[in-house]
Structure 1
């Protein structure tokens, strides 16, 4: 167990790890959503959207590792099964949005959901005195808020 895990009560570790697994599931589904849109976007904004969706899925993939490693540092189990992630995720797996506007709206919603999940988990971590998790998730929430803003900017 890490120093942080030893300072936290077992019930706090469990609650934080459960919330982090929610973050992990939401990030995983958003990763694939962004990759799907990267592969399938068309239209006049193809170039910039293709690049932005790639930036998102690469960012989200790396974030999944950070979140999973934080779960492990707290002594928890990082849930990595795709079926469980889909079932748990608050991010809606898009059923095949066609057209860039529908993709942008779906991705803006996904980013807003991720930002809320990260903020909620950061608050939980703060309540239990887990500053390292709190800091990680505040930073992640800011990334997702920025991506949401970028998506909304395309819509005018």
Structure 2
């Protein structure tokens, strides 16, 4: 059935493509955060282990919300490591960093997600896509707050 929600097909496709990048960034950050949860060591182990767990659980919920918005717009949500690697602005690392480097990398990852979300606003506002704008606003609030909390650990 055709989708008739007051957003043109072209705009829905562009918004979905942007949300696919946001989904890829969010999933990549989820994987990185979960990895750090498992592998963190050092004097702040307990604090960081629990903090990273709370963060990856929140990210796991977020990927579902973003993917479901993509589907509501009539597009297929990317769902493979290959697709996420191609779409994500967050680099994958193959090393085992110390706790401070983990925190720094997570700050960069959180900020990357915010930049991706922010970049979608002009199109979403032009298309009057309030549900996508609401989703982006919520995601940006979470990621900006998380980046601030992580940065605070480095001072």
TM-score normalised according to structure 2 size: 0.95
Counterpart position of 1:104: 103
Where structure 1 has 5 or more consecutive residues not aligned to the other structure, the ranges are none
Counterpart position of 2:134: 135
* C-alpha distance in 2 between matches for 1:69 and 1:115: 19
| Aligned pairs, number | 155
Where structure 2 has 5 or more consecutive residues not aligned to the other structure, the ranges are none
Counterpart position of 1:15: 14
Per-residue CA deviation, residues 91-146 of structure 1 (Å, 9 max, x unaligned), is 11122242101101100000000111112223321121101100111110110011
Counterpart position of 1:114: 113
TM-score normalised according to structure 1 size: 0.94
Gap change, CA 1:7 and 1:43, over 3 Å in 2: same
Counterpart position of 1:32: 31
Over the aligned positions, Cα root-mean-square deviation in angstroms equals 1.5
- 1:134 is paired with a residue whose SS is helix
* C-alpha distance in 2 between matches for 1:69 and 1:63: 10
Per-residue CA deviation, residues 6-64 of structure 1 (Å, 9 max, x unaligned), is 20011100100000000000001000000000000011111111111111111111100
Which structure has more helix as a fraction of its residues?
A: 1
